[in-house]
Amino acid sequence: MKLRIRLLTAFIVGSSFAILPVQARAAADDIITVDKVMTHDPVMIKEKDTYYLFATGQGISVMSSRDMKNWKFEPSVFAEAPQWAVDLIDGYNGHTWAPDVIYHGGLYHLFYSCSAFGKNTSAIGHATTPTLDRKDPRFKWTDHGKVIQSVPNRDSWNAIDPNIIIDEKGTPWMSFGSFWDGIKLVRLTDDLNAVAEPQEWYSISRRQRSVNVKAEDAGDGAVEAPFIMKHGEYYYLFVSFDYCCRGLKSDYKVAVGRSKKVCGPYLDRDGKSMEHGGGTILVKGNKDWAGIGHCAAYEFDGKSYFIAHAYSTKENGTPKLIIREINWTSDGWPEVEIY
């Protein structure tokens, strides 16, 4: 099918630093191959025989596929910006960053980031639906509002880039963070709507910031986009180092560590804690991709998958969807081939 293109000017931002590209998008009934999918901050889930991709975009971008190779655009999650976020976050206009999706307790839970560029005036929201199939009469996104908020000069962390994992005891946890003082982990209530009491907070990954950076500034401790995956006896923490969203100047890369406890400490292959700057580089840019990052990792039908966005050198730094299989070494470390 010939691709019918319309231009959509959008903020494509999943971190504290961004550019403003013009994104090409297919008409609603078009099928496009994976190599044509432009995206930032993708996450995925499977319901029955369909994969659903959620990503940064106006109202949260959504696509669907039966094979992870051919994708169709779906309507955005939110037709209008959540009013609680518009009222709370100065500068937020509905362009919503870095979602995460998980199935838990009979519902699909979507977490999303509301922020303003370069500030930690941020909040993470939460919405649910009983199904992702729009043809099902039960389909309806219900927004539950704010889960957590960061406030400048109060918090040394940034409430964006959420990721949810349910531990072996059935306890839900949310990791999140971008720049500032790194990646945090907090226990949630069973319905995933709020931080559980008494509160449990952990710092699980950080990089050293310059000593002269003001507290309200993001700084140069470039780590963000956490994703925790359980494989075998370990929890694996994936994070993104360095800078996204700069086209061909992007130097994004993914680092990983592991722990037998969801709260860490996460150690890299050399035994260094990620909370103290550690992290084994899993993927980085090459001749085809300027930078690769903001990843997610899943197991579908007995195979492990790595998904991320990467900046194509052949297309002048256009952000593209990357889906690759994860191979596991004999001592239990992930390896991903980027081509």
Residue-wise pLDDT tens digits, 217-270: 666 789 999 999 999 999 999 999 999 999 999 999 999 999 999 999 999 999
Q: What are phi and psi of 88, to 5 degrees?
A: -90, -40
3-class DSSP assignment, residue 109: strand
Tally Cβ neighbours within 10 Å of residue 116.
Answer: 14
pLDDT at position 17 over 60: no
Burial of 316 (0-12, 13-18, 19+ CB in 10 A): exposed
Longest distance between any two alpha carbons in the chain, whole Å: 56
CA distances from 123 to 96, 117, 184, 318, 323 (A): 11, 13, 14, 28, 28
Cα–Cα distance between 3 and 28 in angstroms, integer?
A: 11
**In 115-162, which ranges are E strands?**
122-129, 142-150
Residue 8's pLDDT is what? 31
| Omega cis (within 30) before 198 | yes
The pairing of beta strand 234-241 with beta strand 253-259: antiparallel
Q: What is the mean pLDDT of residues 116-131?
A: 91
The domain limits of the chain are 35-336
**Active site residues per annotation:** 41, 224
Confidence at residue 173, expressed as pLDDT on a 0 to 100 scale: 98
Task: Show the DSSP H helices in 7-160 as ranges.
Answer: 83-88
Residue with tokens 């839900």: 172
Q: Rounded CA gap, 265 and 192, in Å?
A: 23
Task: Write down the pLDDT at residue 204.
Answer: 98
Tell me the residue ranges of DSSP E strands in 188-316. 201-205, 223-231, 234-241, 253-259, 280-283, 289-300, 303-312
Superfamily of chain region 35-336: Glycosyl hydrolase domain; family 43 (2.115.10.20)
Which pLDDT does position 119 carry in this prediction?
82
pLDDT given for residue 145 in this prediction: 97
Q: Which helix H or strand E contains 323, and what residues bound it?
A: strand 318-328
pLDDT tens-digit series, residues 74-122: 999 999 999 999 999 998 999 999 999 999 999 999 999 999 877 888 9
**CA–CA dist 338, 295 (Å, integer):** 13
Q: Which range (24-33, 184-193, 215-224) has the least confidence?
A: 24-33
The predicted model gives 205-224 an average pLDDT of 77
- pLDDT at position 152, please? 87
Say yes or no to pLDDT of 7 above 70.
no
**Separation CA 87–CA 75 (nearest Å):** 24
Say if CB 78 and CB 60 are below 8 A apart: yes
Nearest to 39 by CA among 311, 314, 232, 309: 309
pLDDT at 211: 61
Q: Measured in whole angstroms, how far is the alpha carbon of residue 68 from the centre of its chain?
A: 18
* 67 phi/psi in degrees, rounded to 5: -140, 5
Mean predicted lDDT score pLDDT of the chain? 90
Do 148 and 166 meet the contact criterion of CB atoms below 8 Å apart?
no
What's the pLDDT at 118?
Answer: 72
